[in-house]
């Protein structure tokens, strides 16, 4: 039996991207750890129907999906935020999932600031 995959559009502070993952959801602990390691700790995620992602990305989808393994369960399907955002209509996507790592916000100069410091 093949690896169960999900296609997810992430809207982040750095733009949008589409990922393929074997994690069951955008807020699964393992996926959150991998995204945090890549500097993504706040996002809005939309599930993309897998068949729709296959259709829109064609051969590129097959190449990226073929490189997805149980041991490295995350691949970026599309780094080009503008293209990723234009390829799909909101009506085609699942309900949005919001995630923000607890612990504060980055302030001017890169320091981490908590909500109490923002008043």
Output the tens digit of pLDDT for each of the chain's 119 residues: 356 889 999 999 999 999 999 888 999 999 999 999 989 999 999 999 999 999 999 999 999 888 776 566 888 999 998 999 899 999 999 999 999 988 645 544 444 433 343 33
Cβ atoms 23, 5 nearer than 8 A = no
Q: What is the pTM of this model?
A: 0.81
At 70 the pLDDT is 57
């Amino acid at each position: 039996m093949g690896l169960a995959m999900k296609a997810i559009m992430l809207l982040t502070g750095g733009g949008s991207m589409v990922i393929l993952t074997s994690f069951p959801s955008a807020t699964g602990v393992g996926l959150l750890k991998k995204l945090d390691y890549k500097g993504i700790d706040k996002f809005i995620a939309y599930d993309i129907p897998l068949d729709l992602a296959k259709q829109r990305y064609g051969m590129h989808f097959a190449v990226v999906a073929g490189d997805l393994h149980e041991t490295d369960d995350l691949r970026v399907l599309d780094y080009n935020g503008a293209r990723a955002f234009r390829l799909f209509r909101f009506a085609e996507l699942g309900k949005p999932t919001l995630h923000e790592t607890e612990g504060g916000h980055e302030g001017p100069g890169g320091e981490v600031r908590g909500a109490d410091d923002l008043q």
